Structure 1
Amino acid sequence: MPDPHELDPTQQSLWRPLRLLQASMDADIARVYTDARIDGLKPSYVLELLRLHARGPMTITELAESVNRTHSALSQKVAAMREAGWVETVEGRDARSKKVTLTGKARAVVGRLAAEWRATEAAAAELEAELPYPLSQVVTDMEQALERKSFHDRIAEKLAQDPEWG
């Protein structure tokens, strides 16, 4: 009988635990919002809401660039945030351009969101201080390693050695 790990390569994953850890921590942040009776807010919206509060209305392109996301990804997120009542689009300088802006619902809680952001960053710093090798240092080290050789190139090299790919 073949080893199930050989039949299902998804049984092995170095980074899935990291994604699960981040999902768990995001769920804890979501619980903070639920406890505070801030309904319908996803932790993934807060960066953009705070950015809009700090910088004012922006086009999707401007907002995407400011948070280092693609236009497509931000367009989808803005649509979801609009549907949830956190943002709206208003006419820009001319009738062809639209700007994303906070709704009254978002403006009413943005101070609390900034407080949560600061508390989350402080809690993350506290957590990192308990670790022998902080995650922020891991990220920096990985970025430097990827500058030397991209992840794409590393994957391509491994695929070139795999007969199933060829």
Structure 2
Amino acid sequence: MNDDIARLYADRGVVGVRPRFSMALIRLHHLGPMTIRALAHEVDVSHSAMSQTITVMRREGLVSAGAGDDARTRLVSLTALGRELVPLLEAEWRATESALAELDAQVPYPLARVVADLAEALAHRSFYDRVVAHLDPSTDAE
């Protein structure tokens, strides 16, 4: 799905924007400048993941980052280019939610239920543990 959304961006001449940027850019547009930690909380990702995303978005000219209230924080703001893209990103977000609802109606079980069931199963036994259990011990590095 991410590849299809990236293709949609490319079809509309949007370069350097990845689907994972959308919610961060939308939140910055509506809430104004904020720290990386606050933005990570808003988007529900780790601080590390948001920091990496901000680095790429800065390189693409979508956001700027300056000193925050103290030396340990960075305040992230939209650039003019970032602000210009928000209407398309919001429209794409709404269209994506509609497309997912359509897809959900076409399968005999709710996709959200599948995700919840997988999360519950992985909480009992991690994917790592499952892979290790199926890995041939003879492939261990010496």
TM-score normalised to structure 1 length: 0.71
1:3 corresponding residue in structure 2: none
The reply to whether residue 124 of structure 1 matches residue 107 of structure 2 is: no
The reply to whether residue 151 of structure 1 matches residue 126 of structure 2 is: yes
- AA aligned opposite 1:155: R
Counting aligned pairs with the same residue, the percent is 45
The 3 A distance-change label for structure 1 pair 162 and 59 is same
Q: Which has the higher contact order (CA 8 A, sep 6+)?
A: 2
The 3 A distance-change label for structure 1 pair 146 and 94 is closer
- CA deviations 1:44-66 (Å, max 9, x no partner) are 21121112122221111111222
Aligned equivalent of 1:88, options 34, 54, 64: 64
Q: What count of residue pairs does the alignment treat as equivalent?
A: 140
CA contact (8 A) 2:36 2:73 kept: no
2:80 corresponding residue in structure 1: 104
Shift, 1:92, TM fit: 2.5
Runs of 4+, deviation exceeding 6 Å: none
Larger Rg: 1
> Structure 2, unaligned stretches of length 5 or more?
none
- Residues of 2 paired with 1:153 and 1:34: CA distance? 35
- Residues of 1 paired with 2:21 and 2:106: CA distance? 28
- CA deviations 1:106-125 (Å, max 9, x no partner) are 11121221011000110011
- RMSD over equivalenced CA pairs, Å: 2.5
- AA aligned opposite 2:61: G
> Structure 1, unaligned stretches of length 5 or more?
1-24
TM-score normalised to structure 2 length: 0.82
Aligned equivalent of 1:44, options 11, 15, 20: 20
